[in-house]
């Protein structure tokens, strides 16, 4: 009986470090975004007319790869009845994350965390949350004693945050401004 009582607490304890570190990432990005004086410029926009279209299209690429992530994860968990190689999940995730880096860097360094427009506030908070939950997921990934729900929940939260980021940026851009490159 003692072993049964200890197992859940040990597995939940294994989530403590990923969640704390992920929370610190959220907090650090938010504090930096508010404390840092925005520069208005952060990265070159090679191939794009301006920074905003660059961010919109890179975020759209990450959005598409996030859908690949969900489909390949469902396949890995045996929910689709088809087999998609695990490498598809790993590489689509890596590429999606890489596409978000210049976007996040530009947002934080050039614009900072803004709160004067509700859409922009939601976007800023979702961006901080995305990197925090992504960090927690990556730190929980190699742990064998985490509860079985950990990766689907953390992955689902990262997916939801990325969809929210796309809706508050790219979708807004496409509907308000158009399909500029």
Cα-Cα-Cα-Cα torsion 58, 59, 64, 65, nearest 10 degrees, comes to: 80
For residue 2, tell me if it sits in a domain. no
Range of the domain at 56: 16-35+50-176
pLDDT band at 10 (very low <50, low <70, confident <90, very high): low
pTM: 0.87
What is the predicted pLDDT for the residue at 5?
Answer: 47
> Is 44 part of any domain?
no
Distances (CA, A) of 169 to 1, 35, 52: 52, 22, 9
Q: Express each pLDDT in 28-46 by its tens digit.
A: 999 999 999 988 876 777 7
Q: In whole angstroms, what separates CA 74 from the centre of its chain? A: 18
Looking at residue 157, its pLDDT comes to: 97
Mean pLDDT on 54-81: 93
Please tell me whether residue 1 adopts helix, strand or coil conformation: coil
User: Does 8 have pLDDT greater than 70?
Assistant: no
The mean predicted confidence, pLDDT, of the chain is 89
pLDDT at 146: 87
Task: Look at the chain and report how many structural domains it folds into.
Answer: 1
Give pLDDT, residue 114: 86
Torsion of CA 58, 63, 67, 68, to 10 degrees: 10
User: What percent of the chain clears pLDDT 70, i.e. is strictly above it?
Assistant: 93
Question: Does residue 135 belong to any structural domain of this protein?
Answer: yes
In a domain, residue 5? The reply is no
Question: Cα(4)–Cα(61) distance, rounded to whole angstroms?
Answer: 45
Whether 80 shows a pLDDT value over 50: the answer reads yes
- Has residue 42 been placed in a domain? no
In this prediction, residues 88-112 reach a mean pLDDT of: 93
Asked whether residue 154 is domain-assigned, the answer is: yes
pLDDT digits (tens, 9 = 90+) for 123-180: 999 999 999 999 999 999 988 888 889 999 999 999 999 999 999 999 999 999 888 7
Say if CB 38 and CB 112 are below 8 A apart.
yes
Q: Where are the alpha helices (DSSP H) in 14-149?
A: 16-35, 51-76, 86-106, 118-140
Rounded Cα distance between 66 and 86, Å, is 15
Q: Is residue 71 part of a domain?
A: yes
Is 10 inside a domain boundary? Answer: no
When pLDDT is averaged across residues 103-113 and rounded to a whole number, the result is 91
Task: Report whether pLDDT(25) > 90.
Answer: yes
Q: What is the pLDDT of residue 173?
A: 92
């Amino acid at each position: 009986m003692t072993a049964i009582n200890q197992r859940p607490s040990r597995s939940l304890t294994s989530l403590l470090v990923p969640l704390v570190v992920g929370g610190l990432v959220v907090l650090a990005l938010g504090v930096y975004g508010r404390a840092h004086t925005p520069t208005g410029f952060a990265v070159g926009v090679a191939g794009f007319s301006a920074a905003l279209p660059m961010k919109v299209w890179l975020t759209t690429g990450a959005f598409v790869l996030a859908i690949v992530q969900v489909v390949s994860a469902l396949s890995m968990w045996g929910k689709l009845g088809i087999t998609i190689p695990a490498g598809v999940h790993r590489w689509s995730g890596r590429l999606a994350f890489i596409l978000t880096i210049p976007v996040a860097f530009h947002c934080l360094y050039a614009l900072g965390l803004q709160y004067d427009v509700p859409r922009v506030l939601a976007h800023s908070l979702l961006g901080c949350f995305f990197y925090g939950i992504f960090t927690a997921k990556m730190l929980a990934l190699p742990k064998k004693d985490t509860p079985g729900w950990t990766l689907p929940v953390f992955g689902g939260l990262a997916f939801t945050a990325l969809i929210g980021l796309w809706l508050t940026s790219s979708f807004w851009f496409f509907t308000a401004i158009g399909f500029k490159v």
